[in-house]
């Protein structure tokens, strides 16, 4: 069994494999309008485009016959098809494992648009449903399909300095003002936050820090995608204590370990690069998920003789101080 990139010489055979699979398998699951949509989506021209871009892969047997194909675009796998003559023999699982390896070279999470015939295969491989999307196929027919995801590992997550282009992603992660204030208290003047305001504070105003070498905005990336953000700053002149702030993860990636991984990387950076002896942060008591995340990476609540409250949205929110 040989797994390799598809070439221009394979174009016609790949197209026929995909077309045959759609025409023989999909009538059991879909209306004709949806089948026609799939045939247009996986046209010879679109397949050729993926070959040229180096995104298309094939599985061939010992006789050189193509039996399966799949495409990788970023962290997304698509156009996974096995020729009907070779289905239910493990080849779908085989090519999926290979395609996941391609994604895993750069990303921690893989996604796939799941057709009805393939859903159970993806579930067996550990995929979960992220959301449902729709496609207008004409004649009043709407296809509803699952977008599924799976964690591949955290090795490809990187914590790098904030870039201005990150702002447009970060500012939309808080969907309402309540969540926004849980994240930032009163540190930003108004909601919704705009990329321009964030960029100005970070790049022109040094994060409101007086000392120049005292503000470190960071972005967590999965491949080339920003998925998390936080800031670090010194709180003492001797630069022995670092404070974490503005800790946030893209809502689509919460509950998967991204927040803990970001904090672990930031902790290592603060200790080994910035020379911190102590790391502190504050979290509102009404944000138990964040509090639990901080505890998971080693932060402990600081005892206090008197509770600290912030006036937020006309309410008093208790702040829990933590350190490690």
Q: What is the 3-state secondary structure (H, E, C) of 124-141?
A: HCCCEEEEEEEEEEECCE
Q: Are residues 11 and 75 in the same domain?
A: yes
Q: Are residues 124 and 201 in the same domain?
A: no
Picking from 131, 151, 171, the residue at the C-terminal end of a domain is: 151
Number of domains in the chain: 2
Percentage of the chain surpassing pLDDT 90?
88
Q: Are residues 105 and 252 in the same domain?
A: no
Task: Write out the residue range of the structural domain in which residue 210 sits.
Answer: 157-323
Spatial CA neighbour of 129 closest among 142, 138, 143, 118: 118
Picking from 151, 181, 204, the residue at the C-terminal end of a domain is: 151
CATH code, 288: 3.40.630.30
Q: Are residues 173 and 308 in the same domain?
A: yes
Q: Which pLDDT value is given to residue 65? A: 95
In three-state secondary structure terms, 193 is coil
- From residue 98, give the alpha-carbon distance in Å to each of 95, 102, 127, 135, 250: 5, 7, 15, 28, 28
What are 13-31's pLDDT values in tens digits?
999 999 999 999 999 999 9
Q: Are residues 195 and 87 in the same domain?
A: no
Strand locations in 61-140 (E): 66-73, 76-82, 109-114, 128-138
Whether 191 contacts 246, CB under 8 Å = no
Residues of the chain with pLDDT under 70: none
Q: Are residues 314 and 203 in the same domain?
A: yes
Cα-flanking dihedrals φ and ψ of residue 66, to 5°? -75, 125
Q: Which pLDDT value is given to residue 307? A: 86
Q: Which pLDDT value is given to residue 236? A: 79
- CA–CA distance, 233 with 63 (Å, rounded to integer): 62
Q: Are residues 147 and 178 in the same domain?
A: no
- CA–CA distance, 318 with 320 (Å, rounded to integer): 7
Q: Are residues 240 and 315 in the same domain?
A: yes
Whether 5 contacts 60, CB under 8 Å = no
Q: Which pLDDT value is given to residue 149? A: 93
Q: Are residues 172 and 238 in the same domain?
A: yes
Cα-flanking dihedrals φ and ψ of residue 125, to 5°? -85, 0
Q: Are residues 21 and 60 in the same domain?
A: yes
Q: Are residues 142 and 209 in the same domain?
A: no
Q: Which pLDDT value is given to residue 304? A: 83
> Which letter, b or e, does each residue of 259-269 get, where b requires 16 or more Cβ atoms within 10 Å of its Cβ?
bbbbbbbbbeb
Q: Which pLDDT value is given to residue 256? A: 87
- CA–CA distance, 200 with 206 (Å, rounded to integer): 9
Picking from 151, 186, 203, the residue at the C-terminal end of a domain is: 151
Helix (H) or strand (E) holding 281: strand 278-284
Q: Are residues 129 and 172 in the same domain?
A: no
Q: Which pLDDT value is given to residue 43? A: 97
- CA–CA distance, 35 with 87 (Å, rounded to integer): 19
Q: Which pLDDT value is given to residue 27? A: 97
């Amino acid at each position: 069994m040989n797994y390799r990139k598809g070439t221009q010489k394979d174009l016609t055979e790949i197209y026929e494999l995909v077309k045959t699979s759609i025409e023989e398998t999909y009538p059991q699951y879909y209306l004709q309008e949806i089948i026609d949509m799939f045939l247009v989506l996986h046209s010879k021209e679109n397949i050729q485009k993926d070959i040229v871009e180096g995104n298309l892969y094939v599985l061939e047997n010992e006789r050189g016959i193509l039996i399966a194909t799949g495409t990788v675009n970023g962290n997304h796998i698509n156009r996974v098809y096995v020729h009907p003559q070779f289905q239910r023999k493990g080849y779908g699982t085989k090519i999926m494992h290979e395609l996941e390896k391609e994604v895993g070279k750069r990303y921690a999470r893989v996604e796939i648009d799941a057709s009805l015939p393939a859903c159970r295969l993806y579930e067996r491989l550990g995929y979960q449903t992220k959301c449902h999307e729709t496609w207008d196929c004409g004649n009043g027919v709407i296809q509803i399909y699952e977008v599924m995801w799976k964690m591949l590992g955290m090795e490809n997550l990187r914590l790098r300095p904030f870039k201005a282009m990150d702002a447009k992603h970060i500012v939309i992660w808080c969907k309402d003002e309540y969540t926004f204030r849980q994240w930032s208290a009163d540190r930003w003047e108004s909601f919704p936050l705009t990329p321009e305001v964030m960029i100005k504070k970070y790049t022109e105003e040094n994060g409101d820090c007086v000392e120049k070498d005292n503000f470190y905005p960071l972005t967590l990336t999965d491949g080339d995608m920003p998925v998390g953000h936080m800031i670090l700053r010194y709180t003492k002149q001797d630069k022995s204590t670092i404070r974490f702030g503005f800790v946030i993860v893209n809502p689509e990636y919460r509950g998967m370990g991204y927040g803990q991984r970001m904090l672990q990387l930031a902790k290592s950076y603060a200790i080994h690069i910035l020379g911190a002896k102590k790391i502190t942060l504050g979290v509102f008591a009404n944000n138990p998920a964040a509090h639990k995340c901080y505890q998971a990476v080693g932060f402990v609540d600081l005892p206090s003789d008197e509770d600290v409250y912030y006036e937020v949205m006309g309410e008093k929110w208790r702040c829990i101080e933590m350190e490690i």
